[in-house]
Structure 1
Amino acid sequence: MKELAGRLTALDPDAGAAVRVIAYFDRLSESRAGLEALVRGAAVLAGVPALLVDAERRVRVRVEADGTRRDSGAPPDPGWPSAALTPGGAAALWLERAEAAPSVVDAVILERAAGAVRLVLDRTRGRAAVEDPALVETVLDPGAPEAARLHAARGLGLDPAGTARALAPLDGPPMVVAGRADAGLPNRWSSNGLSTGRASAGSPAGRSNAGPPTGRNKGGFPTGPSNGGLPTGQAHAGSPAGRSNAGPPTGRNKDGLPTGPSNGGLSTAQAHAGSPTGRNNAGPPTTQADSGRPTGRTDAGLPSGRTDADPLTARALPGLPDGRVGVGPEVPVLELPRSWAEARTALRFTAEGTALDPGPKVVHADELGGVALLAGLVAPGAEAPADVQALEAAGASTPWLLATLHAVISTTSLRAAAAEINVHHSTLQDRLSHAEHLLGWPLRTPQGRLRLQLALAMRHLARP
């Protein structure tokens, strides 16, 4: 290849340079170089910064012409030369060259680098199709031999020594999510045999001791490390996912209700610690009208799209399927059957989020705590406990009752509950008096509120 490049250079310098570009990226691919090494090669070869953007997989890598990584959140200029990673796809590699038309060499650099990047993403970000639909079922089956589950985990791209969690959608096959302790964002596989994608943030996992290319040879190409900056598997430095930031209750309000989560562990409508009031734990601040009440509600008085009042949705995972989902705990890969069992239990605590079935659509098993024990006491489709029967009878005669009671148990005060369903505080007091008459127990005492929480939770569990 070197001899061919030399001969071509004598005839056509651009053709000779193009051959050297091809040979350079072939060497990087053979050494299984990572994303950053490939983007660095494109930048140094082109003499301008190179930018890799794959929004779907949360990958963004930018390297200066001198080989220094310097990421930027600025969007790529449409005028820069680029190459899509897949035909018609949004993910692309860009050369930040706007002052002149791209050369033939630039085109070759983009084509070869984009092809190598695509192979790395398919290999490391779980984009390759999973052909055997039994892999997910095997890795979740407690009766399968350990060797079979390890083989299935490897087939799904999971690290047998890492962690993962199971998801139990109401309408859909079981899913497996790679643990965030091992990767920036999760792989997701369902038992229909197709990978639903893996997202990753930042650079490839680790790098070898050799640094970036620091010079050029007489042909104008980098003289960097012989292994091309091959990653060596450095672990991601992110913090564990799913850790709650909310502290314990600190007192009671003037209604006599706790200002923090209730004893049942189902109420979490608190502002994120250290963030502006009104910001939920999983996303941006909720929109509020001038009165201070949240806006964007459904006709039933329930918030349309808010999750901060839902008890167990503060740790939303990216890419969850629509509808009701139970989320199992993150466990070692060999313990995925346990995560799957707990995910199915969590699914029973979910609700449709409507006026007739208020509650969270997504429930995390590891946030249920002792409340999960109720699932073993209330059998689906069996005769409901007396308090649940009282709720059903009262809800059938009073359309606003269930949504009102859910607001009471999922907020920190009666005034917050009134704002949650967009009614005046005095109106809520009247509604509670009527509900107490229908149910037969007080709702404005800690004991009565806990009893109500348990009754609403058992109502979900009693469904067939």
Structure 2
Amino acid sequence: MRDLTARITALAPEAADALKAIAYFDELSQHGAGVRSVVRAAAALSGVPANLIDRTGGVSMRVTADGTSMPVAESVDPSWPRAVTEDGAVEIVLERSAPNEAHLDALVAERALLAIATAIGRPDEARPRDENLALRTVVDAKATPKLRHQALERLGLTPETEVCVVAVRGAAPVLAIALAEAREKAGSRRAGIGQVLPADEAPLSWKRAWSALALTSEGTRADPGDRIVLADDAGALLWLVEHLSPGAELPDDVTSVTTHAASAPWLLETLEAISTNDSVRDAAAALGLHHSTVQERSARASRLLGWDITDQRGKHRTQLALAIRRIGNAQRTNPAPQ
């Protein structure tokens, strides 16, 4: 290959550059290079930042020409050269505002995408078992640092790369490099999102993500609340999730809410709306009801529960009761992974 490249260089330098790029990515694949190494190679060969956008729930990233990892570009210019899989799930984008054929951008992007497919499996198929294993190793608090670092390399990350973990019931952990990306990957699913931490501390982000997941709701009338909860926003409630023993007897307030909600289907959504809004009128707007209807509901709910749900103390009491109720439900239906 080297002899052929040398001969072609003398006749057609641009063709030789293309062969060198092809050979470079082939060599990366043959040596089992991780995703980050491939994206870094695309950035180095093109001389501009390279973005990997993975819409399958894998790891998206942006690497500059000097090899620095950063979050994916907030806005991707449609004129930037790119290569994308047929289903649009995985894309390589090179940040060159003035495309120049001499830079071989199209070839670099296409070969990088092929090398990434080799590294993580076909992007239009289910995530390979070895990548799932790598993800679980990264978030496993019992894994040795050596094993975690090897798993991070498999995913194209370093121990210093900042990530956060997304927890979704019944799904493998998902890594993201920024909260905005984590929200995007969670989509419409119920999800808990851990803090952004160095990848070496991913187990803590995973633990916090799972705790935040216990505070989520379906977002329906029967189960009102947020479908996505960030650990950063949950505060002391995370401590409550992690210290409330499964099967423990719940406070009377929680029992009262659950009991009365069984015969008053309007109760839970009313409690959620009033406890999270400044006024009954605001709560009515959130529910799409006339304020007099919500005023009547709030008065009835206060009589049923035994506290004024509209004053500040009552709102805090309601929020705590609803949170503990969610935690108890989560412990019964989805115990935290061991």
- Same fold, TM exceeding 0.5? yes
Q: Closer, same or farther in 2 for the Cα pair 1:155/1:423, shift >3 Å?
A: same
Report if the CA contact (8 A) 1:329-1:342 is conserved.
yes
- Say which is worse superposed, 27-36 or 379-388, in terms of deviation: 27-36
Task: Look up the match of 2:241.
Answer: 375
Query: How many Å apart are 1:459 and its aligned residue?
Result: 0.9
- Coordinate RMSD, CA, aligned: 4.0
Task: Give the length in aligned residue pairs.
Answer: 283
User: Is the CA contact 1:326–1:347 (under 8 Å) kept in the aligned structure 2?
Assistant: yes
CA separation of 1:326 and 1:126: change in aligned 2, threshold 3 A: farther
Contact 1:379 1:462 in 2 (8 A): no
1:358-437 aligned within 5 A: 358-437=224-303
Give the SS at the match of 1:318: helix
Counterpart CA distance in 2 for 1:88 and 1:420 is: 38
Check if 1:352 corresponds to 2:218: yes
SS in 2 for 1:462: helix
Q: Distance in 2 between matches of 1:162 and 1:351?
A: 31
Give the SS at the match of 1:165.
strand
Code of the residue aligned with 2:268 in structure 1: it is L
Residues 126 and 157 in structure 1, CA contact (< 8 A), matched pair in contact too: no
Paired residue type of 2:150? H
Partner residue in 2 for 1:38: 46
Q: What's 2:33 paired with?
A: none
Match of residue 196, structure 2, among 322, 327, 330 = 330
Question: Match of 1:428, as an amino acid?
Answer: V
Q: Which structure has greater helix proportion?
A: 2
State the match for 2:72 in structure 1. Answer: none
Encode CA deviations 1:147-166: one digit per residue, 9 max, x unaligned.
Answer: 11111111121111222222
Partners of 1:159 and 1:434 lie apart in 2 by: 56
| Unaligned segments of structure 2, at least 5 residues | 26-39, 63-74, 122-127, 333-338
Secondary structure in 2 matching 1:452:
helix
Taking only the aligned residue pairs, the percentage that are identical comes to 31
Give the deviation of 1:117 after TM superposition: 1.5
Take 1:146 and 1:330, find their aligned partners in 2: how far apart are those partners?
A: 19
Q: Which AA in structure 2 matches 1:356?
A: A
Q: Which residue of 1 aligns with 2:110?
A: 118
- In the other structure, the counterpart of 2:169 is 170
- Normalised by the length of structure 1, the TM-score is 0.52
Deviates more, 1:343-352 or 1:22-31: 22-31
TM-score (norm 2): 0.69
1:436/1:442 contact within 8 Å kept: yes
Q: Is the alpha carbon distance of 1:4 and 1:147 closer, same or farther for their aligned partners in structure 2, counting shifts above 3 Å? A: closer
CA contact (8 A) 2:254 2:324 kept: yes
Distance 1:438 1:25 in 2: 76
- Matches of residues 435-450 of structure 1 in structure 2 within 5 Å? 435-450=301-316
Structure 1 residues 348-394: Cα deviation after superposition (integer angstroms, max 9, x where no partner): 11111111111111111121111222224533444322111111122
Provide the secondary structure at the position in 2 that maps to 1:384. coil
Q: Larger relative contact order (C-alpha < 8 A, sep ≥ 6)?
A: 1
| 3-state SS in 1 of match to 2:164 | strand
In the alignment, is the contact (CA less than 8 A) between 2:166 and 2:182 conserved in 1? no
Residue identity matched to 1:406? E
Distance verdict in 2 for CA 1:367–1:138, change over 3 Å: same
